[in-house]
Amino acid sequence: MTHERKTNGDRLPGTTRGYRFRADFAVADAGIETWGHTLEDIFTAAAEATIEVMANERRPQEPLRTETIELASDSLDLLLVRFLDEIIYRKDAERCFAEVASLVITGDDGFQLAAKLQLKPLDGAAYDFRVDVKAVTLHRLSVERTGDVWRATFVLDV
């Protein structure tokens, strides 16, 4: 039996990306499926879902700064892991949530990602914290295209 909590993609009409939490992926961890029309959509939705696992609500808050990251990988699934590792790293090392301001993925035989991240301080007045995400696992990891829709699945170790 699949237990889902549908989120942003199901609430916002006309959206091009979304995500949902999948209880059937892992018992003690957070299983997530994202979808969108572009790779950028599913990577951005993955970052949004990762932050939502960690915090109940995001109240408006000004970013401390914007940082640019550049990543590369031979495969899209491992590029997703590296990208989400950056989101988790900022939370642990810099005590900031890293929200995606822009993101571009290029490449056919080897992939490159360039993103601008807005770093917002972890502030108890701005966020209601849920759980601490430790890492992205390789369990059920996939990035694939079916027709004109990209999908990614991954599991967060909480």
Q: Does residue 33 register a pLDDT over 70?
A: yes
Work out the mean pLDDT of the chain and round it to a whole number: 85
Least confident of 2-11, 29-38, 42-51, 101-110: 2-11
Domain boundaries, the chain: 4-157
Tokens 């408006």 — which residue? 60
pLDDT digits (tens, 9 = 90+) for 57-106: 656 788 999 999 999 999 999 999 999 999 999 999 999 999 999 999 99
How far does Cα 120 stand from its chain's mean position?
Answer: 16
Are the beta carbons of 158 and 30 closer than 8 angstroms?
A: yes
Q: Does residue 10 register a pLDDT over 50?
A: no
Q: Which residues make Cβ contacts (< 8 Å) with residue 57, sequence separation at least 6?
A: 127, 128
Pick the CATH number of 4-157 from 3.55.10.10, 1.10.1760.20, 3.40.1410.10, 1.10.287.110: 3.55.10.10
DSSP class per residue in 57-87:
EE-----SEEEEEEEEESSHHHHHHHHHHHH
